[in-house]
Amino acid sequence: AQSVSQHNHHVILSEAASLELGCNYSYGGTVNLFWYVQYPGQHLQLLLKYFSGDPLVKGIKGFEAEFIKSKFSFNLRKPSVQWSDTAEYFCAVNARSGAGSYQLTFGKGTKLSVIP
Amino acid sequence: EAGVTQSPTHLIKTRGQQATLRCSPISGHTSVYWYQQALGLGLQFLLWYDEGEERNRGNFPPRFSGRQFPNYSSELNVNALELEDSALYLCASSLPPGQGNQPQHFGDGTRLSIL
């Protein structure tokens, strides 16, 4: 079964610091990769996605992620965080499960707190 | 466009009772997914419905069941409620998944509390 690991449970940064959130997955086949964000009091929103092509994908609000197939990684980055980036970030992998149907598997999430 | 809507927002039940949660997908979306977000466990996949059929099921007991109606809305039913069923239940919808590359759009969730 596929699994997704997010390395950091809670990250605290000052405004303007650079951000990198780690995400590794275990699945040997073709994967579709996503990062979702949940701002306080709001529902999960899609931040960015990777299906194929350029492994560096850009999302909303200045976020980007790089797919490194050899490392089974899909790390999220932002050069300079803002207080409004305070949220919980979830990495997710969509791949065929044992039953042959697609299943979206989430990491446990990383809480980002940005200090003004 | 209206997003995914879930009702009720909060549901309080006691052990052994049955709970019904409802979800309306984004217009044009045929797939509906259910997830459980329990404290410390992250989002766990429960069920996927597409075109009225159950397409996939997560590692949950049979007392978790659901259905999808002809208008693509969906119900999640949880029978014989247990204390550990207390969680936020999220519904998501998407266009037909094809090659698994359709992003899912999430609702605000139903908070189920078991006393």
| pLDDT tens profile B44-71 | 999 999 999 999 899 999 999 999 999 9
Q: First-to-last CA distance in chain A? A: 41
Contacts of B42 in chain A (CB under 8 A): 90, 106-109
Taking the CA atoms of chain A, what radius of gyration do you get in angstroms?
14
A77 CA to chain B: closest CA distance, Å? 20
Nearest-angstrom CA–CA distance, B73 and A20: 38
A105–B103 C-beta distance less than 8 A: no
Instruction: pLDDT band for B102, please (50, 70, 90 cuts).
Output: confident
Q: Are A3 and A94 in contact (CB under 8 A)?
A: no
Contact state of A102 with B100 under an 8 Å Cβ cutoff: yes
* Contact by Cβ (8 Å): A38, A88: yes
Q: What is the pLDDT of residue B99?
A: 67
Q: Which two tokens stand for residue B39?
A: 């404290």
Burial (CB < 10 A; 0-12, 13-18, 19+), residue B111, is middle
Q: Where are the alpha helices (DSSP H) in A43-94?
A: none
Query: Do residues B32 and B79 make contact, with C-beta atoms less than 8 angstroms apart?
Result: no
Place of tokens 């797939």: B31
Chain B window 33-92: which residues touch A at a Cβ cutoff of 8 Å? 33, 35, 40-43, 45, 48, 55-58, 90, 92
Give the per-residue pLDDT at A99.
61
Q: What is the pLDDT of residue B101?
A: 78
Calpha distance A44→B16 (Å, rounded)? 30
